[in-house]
Structure formats: C-alpha cells, structure tokens
Amino acid sequence: MTDAADEIARLRAALAAADTRAAAAEAELAQARAVASTSEAMIAALKLEIALLRRDKYGHGAERTARLIDQLELQLEELVADAAVDTARAGQAAGQTTKVAGFERRRPVKKPFPEHLPRERVVVEAPTTCSCCGADRIVKMGEDITETLEVIPRQWKVIQTVREKFTCRVCEKISQPPAPFHPVPRGWAGPSLLAMIVFEKYGQHQPLNRQAERYAREGVELSLSTLADQVGAVAALLEPLRALIEAHVLAAGRLHGDDTTVPLLARGGTKTARLWTYVRDDRPFSGAAPPAVVFKFSRDRGGEHPAAHLKGWQDILQADAYAGYNQLYQGDRKPGPVLPALCRVDGVVAEPRPSQIRTCGFPASGSSWTSFAQARLH
C-alpha cells in the first residue's frame, strides 16, 4: 500500500513538472511571437519614414509615391495592431509561470494631452477615518491625478481623476483610494474613445491613418502607431467575447454558409480575398436561440478554409454548390459528414456539380435531388 501511494505521489509530481514545463514553453513561444511581430512593425515604421523623407527631399513626384505611402501606412497599422495583440498574449502567458519574464514592447511615444482641452475633475470620495487605525484625525497631504482622454461625439475632453492622499496624525499611515479602472491595462484612452476608434475602422471602414488626420483637424494629434496599438489591445480584450459568439453559432443544428470577396491591400497592389460567413438563425424553425453570425477571413477561396472553420461540427449546412465545401460532405470525415441542404436560386434548389455527386453520394439529378435536398432541410 505504501509503495502504491509513493508511486501515485511520484506520478503527480511528474505531471505537475510536465505542466510547468509546458506552460513555460507556451510563454516562451508567446514571447518570441511578440518579439517577431514587434520587429516587423518596427521595420514597417522605418520603411514608411524612409518613404516620407524621400518625398520631402525629392518632392511629391508621381501619384505612385502617394499610393506607396498610403500602402505603407496601412501595413504599419496592421503590424502594430498585431504586435499589441502578441504582446498582450505574451503578458498573459508569462503571468501563468514564474520562469519566463514578461515581454515589454517598446511602445510609441505619446504626446501630452493638449492644454486647450477642458479638464473635468472627478474627485474620488475621501475617507473620513484612517484606514489603518480608524482615527478621524486625518488631513490631506497631496493628491495624484490620472488623466484619461475621453470623447463626447465631436467634443474632446480630458478626464482628471483625482486621488487625494491623506495621512493620519495618530499613526502616520498614508491613505489613498485605488487607481481608476481602464479597459486596457495602464491605458490612457477612455472606453468611449476606444469604441469609436474600433467602430470607425471596422464598422465604417475608415483606416487609422484617415482617422488620425481627422482627429488632428479637430485639434487632437494621435499618431498612426498610437491608434494601432489601441486597436490591438482592444482585439485581445474582446477575444473571449468572440470565442463565446463562435461557440454559440457552432452549437446550432443548422448553419447558413456563404463567402464574399473583399479587397486586400498587398505589396504591388490590391488582391481579392474572401470573407466567410456562418449564420445561425433558428427563427424560421421556431427556435428560441438568438441569431448570430461568425465572420472568417482568408486570402483566397481554397476549400481548406471552410473545412478548418467547421472542424468538429457535424450538422446541416445550407450553402451554394461551391466545390470547396466538398470536404465537409465526405463520408470519411471526422467526426462525421456535414449534411448539405444547399440553397435555392429563383425558387429552384441548386443541384450539385458532377464532382459533388461522385464524392458525396448525392442523387444524380431531377426530382430525386429535390426530394433529397428537402429531406435534408427538414
């Protein structure tokens, strides 16, 4: 009995050591990714600076130079945002282990908030008694001011959160309220400003360089790198919410899938990328679950993308007859084939292509195919 207990203890210790090594390896990998993405962002920033210096030295020149600078600014925007995401993940991974130091990325230099912006003092309620001994003989000895840049639609302001310091005349203990909460750790931007920046970029399709120009015209200078850093931090902050939405969508018994083209700015010009859409909407089937949609991006329309998006999902998919979905319908797929419902075009159920008939076992054509599709729908 003693030998068995010793063996169990030894195995538990070995498992704990393995978990520690795995956590350390993940933290080191996250740190390496943060260093690599930061280096790429730094290289892009230097390329943009060189292009601007050449334009200042040799003149504006042809329109191609302006397009090149716009392209470099957009690339820098994406790289800085990715670097902020990787840095946040590296910090989270380092916090789970004591053997790997967190990665501190060199952040863009932020200018002081403009003096012409109105300051709104929000004084945190001071204590009436000493937090240490409970005595009421406390006097103010100073204050700390935390400035948060916030925005009211088309009106900028800086919120000064004042944290007064008090010292006890009895025990000489110094008391002060805690620092204010920021959505982004050690952040300077308020939640409304973060929401506006992200919505303008993804909801209104306004690149960060355009936003920076508009903000400068309103009297607030925020560089492209500063804005991109905040976008990356918000992306990391919203990752749990995105995962919950995707889990809700993939928990459905039926999905509607489709893809559309989106322009992708790339070196040498604009390329055609794809935005994949997976919709959960049970309302036509008297379902009580709220509708939701998940978007996935890819640089091309390869069939491996929907296969990766719906990996592990096995139910009814309503989509067009695009051959890229064939991998989902194959009988040897794990955990099982997806049941195709396909879609209607002008009231007629879209028939599968010959390749789908061969690989997926669909009925050949005609009324047998229509009956097959309708059976899958219900």
The answer to whether residues 76 and 229 touch, using CB atoms and an 8 Å cutoff, is no
**Number of structural domains found in the chain:** 3
The partner residues of 316 in beta bridges, in order of sequence, read 254, 339
pLDDT tens digits for 215-265? 999 999 999 999 999 999 999 999 999 999 999 999 999 999 999 998 887
Indicate if 75 and 182 belong to the same structural domain: no
Q: How many CB atoms lie within 10 A of CB 149?
A: 19
What is the pLDDT at residue 351?
A: 52
Indicate if 271 and 152 belong to the same structural domain: no
Q: Is the pTM of this model over 0.85?
A: no
- 3 state DSSP class of 296: strand
Alpha carbon distance 46, 56 (integer Å):
15
Q: What are phi and psi of 278, to 5 degrees?
A: -130, 115
> Which domain, by its residues, includes 53?
12-95
Indicate if 83 and 120 belong to the same structural domain: no
Q: What is the mean pLDDT of residues 161-175?
A: 92
Residue whose C-alpha is closest to residue 233's, from 275, 266, 296, 188: 188
pLDDT tens digits for 39-65? 777 777 777 777 777 676 666 555 566
Asked whether residue 200 is domain-assigned, the answer is: no
Beta-carbon-side half-sphere exposure of residue 203 (alpha carbons within 13 Å): 6
Which strand (E) or helix (H) includes residue 226?
helix 224-237
Asked whether residue 227 is domain-assigned, the answer is: no
Count how many residues are written for the chain.
378
Q: Which of 95, 126, 148 is the last residue of a domain?
A: 95
Asked whether residue 212 is domain-assigned, the answer is: no
